[in-house]
Amino acid sequence: MNISTISSAAYSDQKPGTSGLRKKVSVFKQPHYLENFVQSVFNIATELQNQLLILGGDGRYYNQQAIQIILKMAAANGVKRVMVGQNGLLSTPAVSHLIRKHNAAGGIILSASHNPGGVDGDFGIKFNISNGGPAPTSFTDAVYDVSQTITEYKIINHDDIDLSHQQRYEIGDMSVEVIDSVTDYADLMQQIFDFEAIKSLFRDNQMSMCFDAMHAVTGPYAKEIFENRLSANRDALINATPLQDFGGGHPDPNLAHAQELSARLNASNNAPSFGAASDGDGDRNMILGQHFFVNPSDSLAIMTANAQLIPGYKNGIRGVARSLPTSRAVDKVAQSLAITCYETPTGWKYFGNLLDDKRITLCGEESFGSGSDHIREKDGIWAVLFWLNLIAVKKQSVEQITRSHWQQFGRHYYTRHDYEAIDNELADQLIQNLRDIAGSLQGKTFAGSKIALCDDFSYADPVDGSITKKQGIRILFENESRIVFRLSGTGTEGATLRVYFENYITDKEQLDQDTQTALRELIEVAETIAEIKTRCNRTSADVIT
């Protein structure tokens, strides 16, 4: 093999966040920037030598160029085989499934998830380990340490390969297979869900749906599953062609960014019965009914309460887990089912040990992500199919299913307020001030309710005993309301302060309030305690979901 060793100077900013390394495209295109990080991964992931690597991404700008570089570096670093998605496309859930199905040593996913794409947009890269899930903090910390002292990387001299056709190549001693991106994943979905029952929903126009792929990676998956296998209505898919800049949109499936979908579901005439969207790399989801939005925290609770109605979970579930900021709606369900509900830090990697140890079956986060033990990532298409299967079994609409759940378990009014691109120093000072005053807040009364607990959340993994500290300031009131403050690890500019509000109501006469109205007092309390307006010079949140 014609391997070159290229001298390189280290970059100081290659510390991965909760979902890998995310930066502006312009940052990744700096000389040797991508190569340094990839070599740092190969230096730590020695298990890849003489083994299989899965490789793909969400199709955003720089995706295909990065794949060509990584393939040549993989060959130079002793990888035996690579399976790469056709046209460089693989959703994050599909990568997780392929790792598990083919016993791969790991996978590299090129995506910045729900962040904008294009020449001036974001790019990202993360490594998934052999269980199909995101690499743990110990791995990403080790990669970062290597990246700070790296002086060279290895790459083979070879022409780029054609990713547009399914075929095999040899790059040095390494075999590369360009594979169909969709079929294996679609087959897995058909094993979990009752496709015939879902298909019957669309027979004779009994029901119509609208799925927004947001010009991201799930377009091809949606075409195969919803159009070809489920025979959904002819106009079921919108924005289903993956584009490098996501059509100029923001591939984040929420009401702020999926406005075309929201408009269709809220139309006065001929609104679809069911609406859904997924994000850039296909791991997030939003569920809508006619004139009705399902909060992701409620979605996880409803899935948990009804899992036994789905063929793949007909024998029941072992347990469930949610991230700290996710509402405690699922906790109530878990209590009724006599199963354990685990509270973890934000980041899907924290669910991995619980899934592998068979402590949980379902898991989810408030940030529009939910999943199960079928893979080790959250899964947007899976969540959509779960809801469609549920509708087929219960013969109820999205709204009816959700309201019935509230009647049984009470309603957790919930919202998240994002303050974006805050100066990092100001954001850190705000969080540090909350840490400093946490102890003095306990026992004080705000808006008529006493604070029962105020702390900086720390997580002890029940499987490996690892401790993860400083994951968010949580304020718990005696009436079961909550406020959580944390800084996001998925942005690429400044800091994003996220504030989460939750108000638990069991009075059946109060289950139909406007969410922001129901949470108004808590929102005012958060401002009083954290002083967001004065400390961050912000008059209001940038995004409310």
- The catalytic residue positions are 113
Beta bridge partners of 52: 81
- In contact, 387 and 398? CB cutoff 8 Å: yes
Measured CA angle at 474 (ends 468, 478), to 5 deg: 135
Q: For 357, how many CA atoms within 13 A lie in the half-sphere containing its CB? A: 14
Q: Are 316 and 335 in contact (CB under 8 A)?
A: no
- End-to-end Cα spacing for the chain: 52
Distance (Å, whole) CA 145 – CA 90 = 29
**Residue 171, strand partner residues:** 174
Exposed e or buried b for every residue in 449-477, given b needs 16+ CB within 10 A? bebeebebbebebeeeeeeeeebbbbbbb
DSSP annotation of 204: G
Under a CB-based contact definition with an 8 Å cutoff, are residues 96 and 132 in contact?
yes
Nearest Cα neighbor of 341 from 371, 302, 301, 374 is: 301
CA distance 240 to 229: 16
Say if residues 273 and 209 touch (Cβ distance below 8 Å): yes
Task: Give the separation between CA 510 and CA 362, rounded to whole angstroms.
Answer: 29
| 178: its two tokens | 């360009």
Q: How far is CA 531 from CA 247, 261, 460, 488, 522, in A?
A: 38, 36, 30, 18, 14
395 CB-near residues (< 8 Å, 6+ apart): none
Distance CA 106, CA 53 (A): 5
Closest CA to 14 of 3, 6, 26, 22: 22
Under 8 Å between Cβ of 10 and 148: yes
Give every CB contact of residue 310 below 8 A, 6+ residues apart in sequence: 192, 193, 194, 386, 389, 390, 393
Query: DSSP code of 182?
Result: S
Helix (H) or strand (E) holding 542: none
Residues facing residue 108 across a β-bridge: 55, 127
CA distances from 292 to 275, 287, 490 (A): 10, 9, 28
Contact 44, 9 (CB under 8 A): no
